[in-house]
Amino acid sequence: MPGWTWAAPLLAWIILILHFIVGMNPLVDIASAIALIATVFAAVYHAEVVAHRVGEPFGTLVLAIAVTIIEVALIVSVMITGGPATTTLARDTVFAAVMIVCNGIIGLCLLAGGMRHFEQDFHVKGAGAALAVLAALTVLSLVLP
């Protein structure tokens, strides 16, 4: 494994300790942001290695769960440190994901496929599964609360 995948999390811990010692400093804040991004990339790299070793279909699940845990951790940390102004952040994040999936990804796929093949078809099984997950996520996070 590349050395940066182990060095980035260690460097992030050092910068976190430095952040507690120095306090609020713009240079330490910038270094913290860079270390956070590098650590997330390292975590995703490790998840990809595990996914390749496990194989299909469990490798895909490992990678999806790792990315979901990273996203939830970032959202929760922002909500904890943001105070009362961030009470709707989780709901807004889910709404943004729904809009990106429904309008952005599906629309871009239809546009690109239409330009190349002039007519689009899709697999009902795959589309139904994706939209069922999206509908459940939307109802649980936007309607029920």
Confidence of residue 145 (pLDDT cuts 50, 70, 90): low
**109 and 41, same domain (yes or no):** no
Show Cβ contacts of residue 91 under 8 Å, excluding neighbours closer than 6 positions: 141, 142, 145
For the stretch 22-33, pLDDT in tens is 888 889 889 999
**Percent of the residues in the chain that have a pLDDT greater than 70, as a whole number:** 99
Entry pTM: 0.62
Domain that holds residue 54: 1-82
Helices (H) and strands (E) in the chain, counts: 6, 0
Rounded Cα distance between 143 and 91, Å, is 10
pLDDT at 127: 75
**66 and 100, same domain (yes or no):** no
Task: Please provide the average confidence, as pLDDT, over all residues in the chain.
Answer: 84
**2 and 71, same domain (yes or no):** yes
End-to-end CA distance of the chain: 44
**10 and 76, same domain (yes or no):** yes
Long-range Cβ pairs for the range 9-17 (8 Å, 24+): 9/39, 9/42, 9/43, 11/35, 11/38, 12/36, 12/38, 12/39
Closest to 28 in 3D by CA, of 37, 39, 17, 38: 17
For the stretch 55-103, pLDDT in tens is 887 888 888 888 888 888 888 888 888 888 888 888 888 788 878 877 8
Residue 125 has pLDDT above 90, yes or no: no
Residue 16 has pLDDT above 80, yes or no: yes
